[in-house]
Amino acid sequence: MTTTTTPRSTRRARGALCLLAAALLVAGCTGDDAPEPTASGSGSTPTPGATATELEGPTVADVEAMAGEQVGATEPMKVVEGEIPDTGDGTFAAQAGVVAVEAGASSTRLVVTLRTTSGAEEMVPLDALNEWSPLTMDVRDLSVTDPVAQTVLLPYLGLAEGKTPPDGTFCLCSASPKTLDGDWVTLYATLPPLDPATTTVSVDVPGFPTVTEVPVTRS
């Protein structure tokens, strides 16, 4: 099975589609007429449409509370090897694992884990998992590809009242880890719902090959 890494420049274009200039609204990219990926889970990224789903969203306090929730299982079911930029001009070897993709009627919960391959502690720059708006200090570049709906799903975003994008936005996802070492660090993101017929998805973590054929659990 072939795996490739999604270019960071593509993530920049996709991320721009997720910002909604509306106070305290939550939005997710759900392209209506996105082209089918070249191969299921190949890492090719269908371009989301210019529309976004708007839902009545939580307050900033609600989002911060959700970001602090503890995830249950942390042992990944699939692991890939990749590289994360360091705080200089290099990279360090790391592992990314997918713990769960949990589909609900109105959202999808993605749980992933990261650790260094060597076990040594490494600093993680803010733009490692959030290229477009690193000052928000979250992991909004995590994504899930739904092969049935032919869409790339990104975490729900909102815009705080009186703020401007991109740094005034908040994400329904984990804060970016400051460091990684040999222990798994668990991260999560809440994304738009999957197609009801979807049973497996592909998961993208920046710097890593696409994790393919990830089974979906439904609540």
Q: For tokens 């696409």, what's the residue?
A: 210
Residue 169: alpha-carbon gap to chain centroid:
15
Distance between CA atoms of residues 158 and 26, nearest Å:
5
Distance between CA atoms of residues 152 and 201, nearest Å:
10
Q: Helix or strand or coil: residue 19?
A: coil
pLDDT digits (tens, 9 = 90+) for 46-86: 333 333 344 455 555 554 444 444 444 578 999 999 999 99
Closest CA to 30 of 44, 9, 49, 46: 49
pLDDT surpasses 60 at 129: yes
Distance between CA atoms of residues 48 and 52, nearest Å:
9
H or E element in which residue 159 lies = strand 157-159
Full-prediction pTM beyond 0.85? no
Length of the chain: 219
pLDDT surpasses 90 at 8: no
pLDDT confidence of residue 161: 83
Distance between CA atoms of residues 131 and 11, nearest Å:
8
Per-residue pLDDT, averaged over 188-207, amounts to: 97
Distance between CA atoms of residues 66 and 108, nearest Å:
14
Closest CA to 124 of 187, 172, 171: 187
* Residues paired with residue 143 on neighbouring β-strands, in sequence order: 204
